[in-house]
Amino acid sequence: MSSIDNKFQYNDTSGAHFGFKYQPGTFIYRLDESTSIFAPKFPLESSVFVHTHLPPSVGSIVGIPSYDHPNVYTVSFKDGSISECNQDLLSLVPEHCPIKTSTLLPPWVKGGANATLFLHTMPKPRHGTLQQNQDGTWSFYPGKSSTDGITLSNLEANCQELLDTGQLFKGHAKFKNVYDARSQVSLRECVLCYFSAHGLQ
C-alpha cells in the first residue's frame, strides 16, 4: 500500500526506552499489555532455575523477550554474569524454596575447611581455614585468626588454577610437599616453554 500523503517508516521508532515498537501498518503494543506478546511468562526480577546442568543455576530475570527473539530472556547470576536463555530452559523458583545453587568448587572447599595457601605473592606457605563471606566472596584466614583474612578473588573461577599451580592445598599439607609441588609446577612450565620455543611437541 502506498500513498501520496504519507510514507511508512520501516524501522523501529520508539525502541526499548519507551517500551514501544512500531509495526508498519499494524499496531503498537505496550510491553506491559497482558493481551500482547509481551505478557512474559517470567516477570522482570523474578527468580528462576536455569536448567543447563544439574543442579540448576539460580538467576534473576533482567530482560524479557523482544519481537526479534520472542522466547529469549536475559538472566543475571549471583556472580555478576549475564546470559540469554531460551524460556524452555527456565522455571520459576517456588516461594519459600531452599535454593541450592551449582558450584564449580571442589566438594572440600566450604566454610571452615582446613587449607594451605601459598600464593605467588607470599614468601612462605600458611595453614589456615577457608570462609565464605556474606557477600559470597571467599577469604583465607591464616592460623587461628578470624579477622586478618586474605581475600581470594573470584575463587569459583580461579580455584582450579590455584590447585594446578600449587598455590592452594586441601588440609594442612606438609611444607615439604608444598614446596615440592611448586617445584614440579615450575619444572613442567620450563619444559613446556623449551618445547614451545623449539617448535617441538
Report the distance separating Cα 112 and Cα 131, nearest Å. Answer: 6
Neighbours of 92 (CB within 10 A): 14
Q: Cell 571467599 belongs to which residue?
A: 138
Q: 41-102 has which CATH code?
A: 2.30.30.140
pTM to 2 decimals?
0.47
DSSP three-state, residue 28: strand
pLDDT by residue for the chain (201 residues), tens digit each? 555 666 666 655 544 555 555 555 555 545 444 444 557 888 888 889 888 877 788 889 998 888 778 888 999 887 778 889 998 999 988 876 655 444 567 888 888 999 999 998 889 999 999 998 887 788 999 988 777 889 888 887 788 888 888 899 999 999 999 998 888 887 877 766 655 666 655
126 within 8 A of 141, measured Cβ to Cβ: no
Q: Where are the domains of the chain?
A: 1-39, 41-102, 114-197
3-state secondary structure 44-93: CCCEEEECCCCCCEEEEEEECCCCCCCCEEEEEECCCCEEEEEHHHEEEC
